[in-house]
Amino acid sequence: MNNNTKEDLERIDRTWNKLEPLLEEQSSPKLFQFIRNSKLYAIAAMLLLITTSSLVFQSIYFKEVVYITKFGETKKLVLPDQSVVYLNGNSKLSFNKHWLSFQDREVKVEGEAFFSVKHTENNQKFFVRMTNHSSVEVLGTEFNIQNRDYDTKVTLNSGKIKFHIADNQDENKKTILMKPGELVEYESSSNSLTKKIVEPENHSSWRNSKLLFEKTELKEIINLIKNTYGLNIKVNDPELFKMKVSGSAPSHNIDILVKGLSEIFELNLIVKGDSLFVSPINPN
């Protein structure tokens, strides 16, 4: 090796020794930044996966189930806890598809429904929510709910329930502890409340395709026909509404029902289109 070549190598070594610390200072932060960014990306991806999985789980597991009956139709339904619901005509029932064992059981009702609620080993509460923000709380029992327009009727067949009534005047709720054989009616428009002793089966016999009457006014029966079968009522004499009757009538067919009521009340009840006309047989 000549002297020039040796000097050149020594010069290159000296130059490299000067540059090497600078290169380390520049490369280390970049490498650290790369590693840190990689960890952040991994965490972000994991959070995104967890969030997406949670949303998918909620959309599937907490999917709402809705049942709607047509005018004159009744339907028997089994809830996730094996409780049974009979849904009357022109009614709606909704609830989550899956119920967790550590949460309250809850359904929503518009119209009329009869509940046979199953008692659970861990004493899960069962709530029936209504459109006027009132609710019924129960552990295990049988009861009938009619929730139409501004009027709510709750009839208890067996067991015990708490009827939570939302007051339009304030945010507080009244709670009524009901016993078997009691009927509580709440009219939210006037904020009026009545409680009386009844024969419970008379108010839930519709689930067996028949109607039972015990000194029942024609007005109540007419309203039942209007809400359940979707008929507009035409009565030429309001005094007819005060007529009372005791007995029974089949409810699975509106034509047979109307014919039966005509004979029971000794009135002319005629269905024309979507209207029911009521008049005396022998008008004065």
DSSP 102-146: TS-EEEEEEEEEEEEPPPPTT---EEEEETTS-EEEESS-EEEEE
- The verdict on domain 209-280 having CATH code 3.55.50.30 is yes
Taking CA atoms, 159 is separated from 76, 193, 240, in Å, by 21, 22, 37
Mean pLDDT of 80-98: 95
pLDDT at 130: 92
Assigned CATH class of 64-202: mainly beta
Beta bridge mates, 94: 66, 108
Query: Phi/psi of residue 237, each to 5°?
Result: -135, 105
Please state the pTM of the whole predicted model: 0.74
pLDDT at 142: 95
Taking CA atoms, 79 is separated from 84, 219, 224, in Å, by 6, 34, 26
pLDDT at residue 110 tops 90? yes
pLDDT at 178: 94
pLDDT at residue 183 tops 60? yes
Total Cβ atoms within 10 A of residue 118: 16
pLDDT at residue 169 tops 60? no
Listed residue (131, 129, 179) closest to 155, CA to CA = 179
**Residue whose entry in the numeric block shows the structure tokens 């094996």:** 82
For the chain, the structural domain boundaries read 1-61, 64-202, 209-280
Alpha-carbon dihedral angle through residues 224, 225, 230, 234, given to the nearest 10 degrees = -110
184-211 in b/e burial notation, b at 16+ Cβ within 10 A? bebebeeeeeeeeeeebebbbbbbeeeb
Residue 109: exposure state from Cβ atoms within 10 A (0-12, 13-18, ≥19): buried
pLDDT at residue 189 tops 90? no
